[in-house]
Amino acid sequence: MTVAQLFLGCALNGIVLEIIVNHDKGCGPLLTFLQTLFITVMSLHWERPKTPVWFYGIITLIFWCVGLLNNVAFDYHITQPIHMVARSSSLAASYIIGYCFFGQSVGDARRFLSVVAVTLGIFIVIQTESFVKSETFQSCSTDLASCPITPRSDVNELTFEWFIGCGILFVTLMLSALLGHLQQWGYKRWGKDVKEGQFYTHLLSLVYFVSMVPNMRHHWTLWSQHPTMWAWVACNVVTQYICVTAVYQSIGESGALTTTLLLTMRKFFSLFFSVWYFNNLFLINHWVGSFLVFLGCLIYQYTV
């Protein structure tokens, strides 16, 4: 049941997210806030926390940055398929962070090979995407207009913005890896309570949205001019809750590695759907790089 919930919830969430982003690329802060608020309300936890609140504060800051930056990246011409490929390389990032900062060993040859495969795959995808972006850019206005692929005259400016988006994804990837290691350290010290962690990380995240009220108000107004947007937002918020809950349950039942494997498989199928349904430009080199990323993730799973 948890596996079905994870696949269905996370896959639908990704599809609806792409629909929303195609209409409003700057929706990240408001959408993230609504997701966080809904999950907080649905995950109310009245018992006294077993883990110190200060530790949840640190975890929450990183967690909030990861969630926000993942959504903000779309505002810098990052497509959903590229987003999926980048996020699927979290195992390699975890390997690097663990080795550099937490004293973990390099491991056997297969584990090292998996990291090389992921790194090479990401390099191929980024190089190919850089070429594509130098030729054409997806042009989207902030007033929810349609987003056709059209030639652009300001290629240099948009290419620079795209590299900023890649930098955002890289920072998000490293922060996600750091978050995983910190959570594992906290579990060893104070015990594992995934329901408590889900509630407090989302509750404390709400504080950080105060500075983004003007931006969120602006997009709230835009959405109000297009009532159908609220239907898509509602679907996204609910499926995000289903996805997050399934992830936390899976971690508690099967462990983090199994959960990551399931998420990687889900992203692989979502990638195919996104390219097919949304007509995202995906060349043969994109597929080669994506295959190396997912293959590296699978190899890594079976070497630990």
The pLDDT tens digits of the residues spanning 149-159 come to 444 455 567 77
Give the span between the Cα atoms of 61 and 206, in whole angstroms: 10
Is 52 a residue whose pLDDT tops 90? yes
Question: pLDDT tens digits for 203-233?
Answer: 999 998 998 999 999 999 999 998 899 999 9
Q: How confident is the model at residue 138 (pLDDT cuts 50, 70, 90)?
A: very low
Give the span between the Cα atoms of 184 and 107, in whole angstroms: 19
Question: pLDDT tens digits for 164-207?
Answer: 988 998 899 888 888 878 887 888 889 878 788 889 989 999 99
Q: What is the mean pLDDT of residues 111-129?
A: 75
**pTM greater than 0.85:** no
Domain spans in the chain, listed from the N-terminal domain onward = 2-301
Q: How confident is the model at residue 101 (pLDDT cuts 50, 70, 90)?
A: confident
Is 2 a residue whose pLDDT tops 90? no
DSSP H/E element including 138? strand 137-138
pLDDT of residue 252: 64
Q: What is the mean pLDDT of residues 26-37?
A: 91
Q: Tell me if 301 sits within 8 A of 117, measured CB to CB.
A: no
Question: 79 or 240: which carries more pLDDT confidence?
Answer: 240
Taking Cα atoms as reference points, which of 88, 86, 73, 90 lies closest to residue 18?
73
DSSP H/E element including 166? helix 155-190
Burial of 94 by CB count in 10 Å (0-12 exposed, 13-18 middle, 19+ buried)? buried
Q: Tell me if 118 sits within 8 A of 144, measured CB to CB.
A: no
Q: How confident is the model at residue 148 (pLDDT cuts 50, 70, 90)?
A: very low
